Amino acid sequence: MANRLRYGQVTGVAKPISILVQGTVYFNESNADEAFALFDAVFAQGCNTFDTAHVYGNGACERVLGRWIASRGIRDQVVILDKGAHPYNGRQRVTPEAITADIADSLERLGVDFIDLYVLHRDDESQPVEPIVDVLNQQHRAGRIGAFGGSNWSYERVQAANRYAEAHGLVPFAVSSPQFSLPEMVKPAWEGCISLGGAGNQAARRWYASAGIALFTWSSLAGGFMTGKYRRDNLNTPGDYFDGVTIRAYAYEDNFRRLDRAQTLAADKGISLPQLGLAFVLSQPLPIFALVGARTPDEFADNLPALDIQLTPAEMAWLNLETDTLT
């Protein structure tokens, strides 16, 4: 049926995983009712996969998500994507000890005994990959996590981790979660963030195309840049913290040129600007699951038509400023 969610599979996860993954970063105890209403609505629309993190709201986001899952009795139907080992007070924490502690915290906050997809929220390239792969395998064997991988890890580090896993008969990284959108992340949205977009990451995209690793790309609409909210003439009046992040990371002339072209193509196709932005991500020749940060049921529903839009290579090249001719 048109505009219904599609699903994919990830090695190590028995459940189907919705191609769109709903984020939880905006929700805590103060707006739990709003969160429950949104989660109910997106679940009814077919989204069974939810993204959260140990660091979000100092654990509040995990608690709210866990309470919703328990109250609806749907743990066997929901896929939890959780993240840990984020830096804290300037201290790097990609260590076996911090990973183990964060998984224990997250399980308790969520009120579950198993996390379907677990990724390390940041990398610390001063740390060797071997003990990191070892501890993730220990947690996997203990039944605490299913498939695992890295968020904001370079493809070279993922490659190194999987070479070690293969050489020692261990479970490799099955997922990676970089930023990816039509607008290029010119400056990191937050320290330590890694993007798959832009001309400088062509080698990474080629590697992922053949590596068999699922990509859970975050900020698929570039922090709202692809909504058209941010213009060349209103950048000096950010409304909140997240506005400031978006402006710092994406508000550059080449991205406004991409936005101009996206508006033209969206109008030609009779779709919205966000739908075109999401279609650009999902039309890539890559195994992508797109993380979205809908704040209302209508916002999530507006994403669904993008699943039926397949942009051509020529359209994607034109949108990405690789050619001046759209043929």
Per-residue pLDDT tens digits for 167-183: 999 999 999 999 999 99
pLDDT in tens, 54-102: 999 999 999 999 999 999 999 999 999 999 999 998 899 999 999 999 9
| pLDDT score for 238 | 67
| pLDDT score for 321 | 96
| pLDDT score for 89 | 85
Q: How confident is the model at residue 140 (pLDDT cuts 50, 70, 90)?
A: very high
pLDDT higher than 50, residue 1: no
| pLDDT score for 237 | 77
| pLDDT score for 139 | 98
318 forms bridges with which residues in the sheet?
A: none
pLDDT in tens, 282-302: 999 999 999 999 999 999 999
Signed CA dihedral, 172, 177, 178, 183: sign only: positive
Question: What does residue 79 show for φ and ψ, rounded to 5 degrees?
Answer: -105, 125
Residues in the chain: 327
Residues whose CB is less than 8 angstroms from the CB of residue 89 and which lie 6 or more positions away in sequence, other chains included: none
| Average pLDDT over the chain, rounded to an integer | 95
Structure pTM?
0.95
pLDDT in tens, 11-26: 999 999 999 999 999 9
> Closest Cα partner for 202 from 68, 317, 109, 103?
317
**What does the alpha-carbon distance between residue 49 and residue 42 come to, in Å, rounded to a whole number?**
10
pLDDT in tens, 205-222: 999 999 989 999 999 999
Mean pLDDT of 32-60: 97
| pLDDT score for 281 | 97
pLDDT in tens, 248-278: 999 999 999 999 999 999 999 999 999 999 9
Q: Which residue has the tokens 């064997």?
A: 141
Measure the CA dihedral 193/196/202/205, to 10°. 130
| pLDDT score for 2 | 44
Question: What are the CA-CA distances from residue 310 to residues 144, 156, 290 (Å)?
Answer: 37, 30, 15
With a pLDDT cut of 90, the percent of the chain lying above it is 94
Residue 289: count of CB within 10 angstroms of its CB: 27
Residues whose CB is less than 8 angstroms from the CB of residue 188 and which lie 6 or more positions away in sequence, other chains included: 249
Half-sphere exposure of 112 (CA within 13 A, CB side): 29
pLDDT higher than 60, residue 236: yes
> Closest Cα partner for 23 from 145, 144, 151, 129?
151
Q: Token pair of 170, please?
A: 């261990």
**What does the alpha-carbon distance between residue 221 and residue 183 come to, in Å, rounded to a whole number?**
8
> Closest Cα partner for 194 from 300, 140, 123?
123
